[in-house]
Structure formats: structure tokens, C-alpha cells
């Protein structure tokens, strides 16, 4: 419970603010009037059935998807069409993908040094020192000279997390980070994420790992049909969901 207290202390500082955000893919309305405020250090889990718009929602935050209506403010910077603005927001917002998306033509160490060297203009030596620090933290220091194709899925995802951390982001987005992993590898990735949460990182995580949501999240958001249906702190969310749609989803996902 002490963890919960910390986050409520920091809650006065808003780092992400989405106001009436709408997005369409052609005629398909994916995001409908999304309003979401994230405080510094807050850990949010977003869940919902597939196609509910949860991935699209977090991909709008670093502008991998463009929203058509509404306002998104990240760390006091407006997200608009200004490329310089977008790039500077992206440097501060890390993202971890379902498919890892490591660069297969680079070694693990090169993967980690790429963005610090080419986007932050850090000297290579300094970038490598940071990279090795994070690789050790996720437990892959010994594999630094291998190529991504030589690692297991769980190792690749841990490298991907370390790669994002090398840019020293203030916010981390996770887009179903364990969905492409074999069951025996999910834990090693979740452990890294839990450790990251303990450092006070602001995290938005799309996941179906409900045990992770229960133990780590400050807030759980349930989405369906492009809308935020329900949001609450995890105990209340899991134990007494208010909306029937949420109840149905939880019974489906927790029944097995």
C-alpha cells in the first residue's frame, strides 16, 4: 500500500493529458472522445477485447498514429503535425512493442546505442556505458555482441525494454509486451517491468496479464468499441466492476 501512497503524492504533476481525442481509420471510428489524464509516476494498465482501440490509444501518445480531433499534451508539449515537436516527445517517451522490433542487422549493443548516438548525439563511448548498464539490469549483459535472431523471445523483449531505457525516457508505453512470448518467458519480462515500476517510472501498459495489473497498477482502464468504459484502482476494478461489459470481459479472461 505504500506504493499507492507515493503515487498519490506525485499526482499533482500531469505528464499526459488527452482531451476529447477522436480517431478514424477510414470510416471506422477507433477512438471516441477519449479523455485521460496521467500523473507523473502513475502506472496504468489498459485492457479490453481486441479491436477496442487500446493499442491505438497509446500509439497516439508518441504519434505513431495520428489523431484527427482533440488535444494531446505530453510533458507540456502539444502533439501536432510539427515534426520537431513529435521527435522531441518521442525521445522522452519509450515504447515496447508486441513483436520486440529489434533491428536484426545490428548486434544487441548496437541496437541499444543507435538512438542515443543518432538522436541524442551522445559520444559512442558514453552511449555504450549506459547501454551496458541497462543490459546488466535486464540480465543480458553477456549477450551484447550477439544478433537479435540468436536470442529467445523473452531475451529479445528484455533487450527492447533496455533499448528504450537508454534514451532515459520519463514515460514508458508497453503495447502487449508479453503477447508474443511463450508462457515460460512471460515471467522474465514481467519481472523487468515490475522492477521498472518500482523505480517510479510513469507507465502505460496494454496487457492481458491481470496478475501484473493487480500487483503493479495504480489504475486499470477498460476499453471497448473505442471508448473508455470503466476505470478504477485495481482492487475495486477486479472485485466489483460496475459496468456489465467489464464484468463480462473479466469473467471471460479470468475463467481459465
Give the interface with other proteins as residue ranges (CB under 8 A): 62, 64, 83, 87-88, 90-95, 97, 99, 101-105, 114-115, 118-120, 147-150, 160, 163-164, 167
Cβ atoms 227, 20 nearer than 8 A: no
CB of 141 to other proteins, least distance (A): 20
Length, in residues, of the chain? 256
Q: What is the spatial distance between Cα 31 and Cα 53, in angstroms, rounded to a whole number?
A: 6
Q: Are 156 and 100 in contact (CB under 8 A)?
A: yes
Residue closer to other proteins by CB (options 114, 238) is: 114
Least CB distance to other proteins at residue 150 (A): 6
What is the nearest approach in angstroms of other proteins to the Cβ of residue 61?
Answer: 10
Q: What does the block give as the cell for 91?
A: 525521445
What minimum distance in Å lies between the beta carbon of 189 and other proteins?
Answer: 17
Looking up cell 550477439 gives 146
Structure-block grid coordinates of residue 45:
494498465
Residue (180 or 250) nearer to other proteins, CB:
180
Give the Cα separation of 209 and 212 in Å (integer).
5
CB of 183 to other proteins, least distance (A): 20
> Cα(9)–Cα(157) distance, rounded to whole angstroms?
32
Looking at the Cβ atoms of 26 and 104, the one nearer to other proteins is 104
The nearer residue to other proteins, 3 or 132, going by C-beta atoms, is 132
Instruction: Please identify, using beta-carbon distances, which residue of 31 and 115 lies nearer to other proteins.
Output: 115
CB of 170 to other proteins, least distance (A): 12
- Tell me 77's DSSP state: E
Nearer to other proteins by C-beta: 147 or 238?
Answer: 147
122: Cα separation from own chain's centroid: 25
Rounded to a whole number of angstroms, the minimum distance from the CB of residue 66 to other proteins is: 12
Q: Are 70 and 243 in contact (CB under 8 A)?
A: no
d(CA 124, CA 72): 34
Q: Which residue stretches of 173-233 are H helix?
A: 183-198, 210-216
Closest C-alpha to 210, from 163, 252, 246, 254: 254
Measured from the CB atom, is 79 or 160 closer to other proteins?
A: 160
Amino acid at each position: 500500500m505504500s506504493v499507492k501512497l507515493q503515487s498519490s503524492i506525485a499526482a499533482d504533476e500531469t505528464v499526459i493529458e488527452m482531451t476529447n481525442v477522436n480517431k478514424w481509420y477510414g470510416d471506422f471510428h477507433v477512438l471516441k472522445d477519449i479523455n485521460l489524464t496521467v500523473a507523473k509516476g502513475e502506472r496504468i494498465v489498459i485492457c479490453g477485447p481486441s479491436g477496442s482501440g487500446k493499442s491505438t490509444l497509446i500509439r497516439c501518445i508518441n504519434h505513431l498514429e495520428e489523431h484527427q480531433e482533440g488535444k494531446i499534451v505530453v510533458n507540456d508539449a502539444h502533439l501536432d503535425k510539427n515534426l520537431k515537436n513529435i521527435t522531441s516527445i518521442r525521445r522522452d517517451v519509450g515504447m515496447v512493442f508486441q513483436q520486440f522490433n529489434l533491428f536484426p542487422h545490428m548486434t544487441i549493443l548496437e541496437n541499444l546505442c543507435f538512438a542515443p548516438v543518432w538522436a541524442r548525439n551522445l559520444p559512442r563511448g558514453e552511449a555504450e556505458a549506459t547501454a551496458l548498464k541497462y543490459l546488466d539490469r535486464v540480465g543480458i549483459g553477456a549477450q551484447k555482441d550477439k544478433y537479435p535472431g540468436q536470442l529467445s523471445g523473452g531475451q529479445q523483449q528484455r533487450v527492447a525494454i533496455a533499448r528504450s531505457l537508454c534514451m532515459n525516457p520519463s514515460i514508458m508505453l508497453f503495447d502487449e509486451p508479453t503477447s508474443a512470448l511463450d508462457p515460460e518467458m512471460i515471467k522474465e519480462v514481467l519481472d523487468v517491468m515490475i522492477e521498472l515500476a518500482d523505480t517510479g517510472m510513469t507507465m502505460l501498459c496494454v496487457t492481458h496479464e491481470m496478475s501484473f495489473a493487480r500487483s503493479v497498477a495504480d489504475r486499470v482502464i477498460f476499453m471497448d468499441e473505442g471508448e473508455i468504459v470503466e476505470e478504477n484502482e485495481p482492487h475495486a476494478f477486479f472485485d466489483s466492476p460496475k459496468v456489465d461489459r467489464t464484468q463480462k470481459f473479466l469473467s471471460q479472461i479470468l475463467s481459465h
